[in-house]
Amino acid sequence: MEEIKKQDVKAFAYLDQINKEKWTASHDGGWRCGILTTNMSECINGVLKGARRLPVSALVEITLERTVHYFHVRAIKGQKMLQNNQLWTDFACKMFISLQQKAVEHTDTKYSHAQQFASVQTRRQGRHGMNTHVVKIANRECSCGKWNQFGILCSHAQKVCGAYNISAASMVKDYYDLMAYNNTYSKHFEPVQSEDYWDDPNF
């Protein structure tokens, strides 16, 4: 805020009147998971791409149709994943395994066994790597921010879990659990019949 004040006092005064929890990542209590872009909302727009220029009635109809299709496809997918005895969704499984493999290349330094603090250094890969991150297992956080953002332990956190003999799998967010996934997409929608058969709203 002080930097904004230096640049423009009026801008500072305007922003200072707004609840900081509403627009800053530093005061949101972690609800935005460190996400600073609108990508999460833009992905919903992708589902409805091409429908926004339609008349209102057609827009509502296509929104319903695509939502029903979206849920139907994922309900079937969820059942297949259950049959394969997966713990989590495909996305979570692939990401967890990929980061688990990446963790092998890191080196760790343990600082506190009681509090499960450690630093992790990544291996140099060309011009990248050789970065040091601080992992606090007890707080479920890593300085890279990815654990908090994705709900899946980053490679640094997985390295530290291995060092302290902690199950990294037990710390994956429960919204990746297949039961949660299937509960989400088990809901059904009521078909909408032709307008001629609608009840008279009396207004």
Same domain, yes or no: 64 and 132: no
Integer CA distances (angstroms), 109 to 63, 113, 120, 155, 199, in order:
52, 11, 6, 15, 70
- Residue 33's pLDDT is 62
Q: Indicate whether 27 belongs to any domain.
A: yes
Number of folded domains that form the chain: 2
Do 134 and 117 form a contact (C-beta atoms < 8 A)? yes
Same domain, yes or no: 9 and 78: yes
Same domain, yes or no: 99 and 56: no
Same domain, yes or no: 107 and 171: yes
Helix (H/G/I), strand (E/B), else coil: 86: coil
Same domain, yes or no: 23 and 62: yes
Do 78 and 176 form a contact (C-beta atoms < 8 A)? no
Same domain, yes or no: 55 and 99: no
Same domain, yes or no: 49 and 105: no
Q: Indicate whether 194 belongs to any domain.
A: no
Q: Indicate whether 199 belongs to any domain.
A: no
- Residue 67's pLDDT is 87
- Residue 34's pLDDT is 63
Same domain, yes or no: 10 and 56: yes
Q: Indicate whether 167 belongs to any domain.
A: yes
Same domain, yes or no: 42 and 59: yes
List CB contacts of 143: < 8 A, sequence separation 6 or more.
133, 134, 135
Annotate 21-34 with DSSP letters as a single string. GGT-GGGSTTTTTT
- Residue 45's pLDDT is 73
Q: Indicate whether 188 belongs to any domain.
A: no
Question: In the numeric block, which tokens belong to residue 26?
Answer: 């530093």
pLDDT 10s digits, 166-191: 999 999 999 999 999 999 998 888 88
List the beta bridge partners of residue 136.
Answer: 117, 141
State the distance between the two ends of the chain, measured CA to CA, in whole angstroms: 53
Distance between CA atoms of residues 168 and 172, nearest Å: 7
Distance between CA atoms of residues 28 and 35, nearest Å: 11
- The amino acid sitting at 64 is L
Same domain, yes or no: 79 and 96: no
* DSSP structure class, residue 142: E
Q: Indicate whether 181 belongs to any domain.
A: no
Q: Indicate whether 51 belongs to any domain.
A: yes
Q: Indicate whether 203 belongs to any domain.
A: no
Helix ranges restricted to H, 84-107 = 90-103
Below-70 pLDDT ranges, the chain: 30-38, 40, 125-129
Q: What domain range is 129 assigned to?
A: 90-175
Distance between CA atoms of residues 142 and 136, nearest Å: 6
Same domain, yes or no: 7 and 48: yes
- How buried is residue 146: exposed, middle or buried, by Cβ count under 10 Å (0-12/13-18/19+)? buried
- Looking at 35, 53, 84, the residue that finishes a domain is 84
Distance between CA atoms of residues 34 and 172, nearest Å: 17
Same domain, yes or no: 69 and 139: no
